[in-house]
């Protein structure tokens, strides 16, 4: 499966010169945690709710612009990027979203939440599949599992 199949196509963006407080209010209004920072048609950063100080970050945002608080080194992905590659990139860089770019054009965004929803859906489908049966161990460890105490 490719991220082009699960990405959100309607991406909320912000300009680098916009006030940080306006960006935070936009996030609250739309129920999102990331805005892609665009300079014209070019992705120049990401600003997250955490970057903006969250609900109690009024002092962090006061008098500041998005450009002052955004993350500048943005990892992006193509629509053809696999779910596994995207998950590894998100985990490896400890980031919460990937803007999806095709031919230098922003076409979507994938977040950790999107991937967790996918995992939940796959798990739900697997649990309702008649062929899938959980292995029961009757409350005991399997015989081939040993527990060892670490040496000090």
CATH class, range 3-128? alpha beta
Q: Residue 138: its pLDDT value, please?
A: 54
Q: Residue 139: its pLDDT value, please?
A: 54
Instruction: Tell me if the pTM is above 0.85.
Output: no
Dihedral-angle region of residue 118 (phi above 0 means left; psi in -120 to 50 means alpha; beta otherwise): alpha
What string of pLDDT tens digits covers the 152 residues of the chain? 999 999 999 999 999 999 999 999 999 999 999 999 999 999 999 999 999 998 888 899 999 999 999 999 999 999 999 999 999 999 999 999 999 999 999 999 999 999 999 988 888 877 776 565 555 555 554 555 444 444 44
Q: Residue 125: its pLDDT value, please?
A: 78
Residues 74 and 58: their CA atoms lie apart, in Å, by: 25
Backbone angles phi, psi at 78, to 5 degrees: -100, 160
Q: How many CB atoms lie within 10 A of CB 76?
A: 17
Q: Residue 135: its pLDDT value, please?
A: 56
Judging by beta carbons within 10 Å of its beta carbon (0-12, 13-18, 19+), is residue 118 exposed, middle or buried? Answer: middle
Spatial contact of 89 and 77, defined as CB atoms under 8 Å apart: yes
């Amino acid at each position: 499966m490719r991220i082009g199949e699960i990405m959100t196509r309607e991406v909320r963006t912000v300009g680098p010169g916009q006030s940080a407080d306006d960006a935070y209010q936009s996030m609250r209004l739309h129920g999102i945690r990331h805005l892609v920072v665009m300079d014209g048609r070019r992705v120049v950063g990401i600003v997250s709710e955490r970057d903006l100080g969250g609900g109690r970050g009024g002092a962090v945002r006061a008098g500041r612009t998005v450009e002052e608080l955004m993350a500048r080194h943005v990892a992006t992905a193509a629509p053809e990027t696999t779910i596994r590659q995207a998950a590894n990139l998100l985990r490896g860089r400890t980031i919460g979203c990937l803007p999806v770019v095709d031919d230098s054009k922003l076409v979507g965004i994938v977040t950790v939440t999107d991937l967790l929803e996918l995992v939940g859906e796959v798990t739900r489908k697997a649990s309702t599949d008649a062929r899938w049966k959980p292995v029961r161990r009757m409350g005991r460890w399997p015989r081939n599992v040993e527990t060892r105490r670490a040496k000090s």
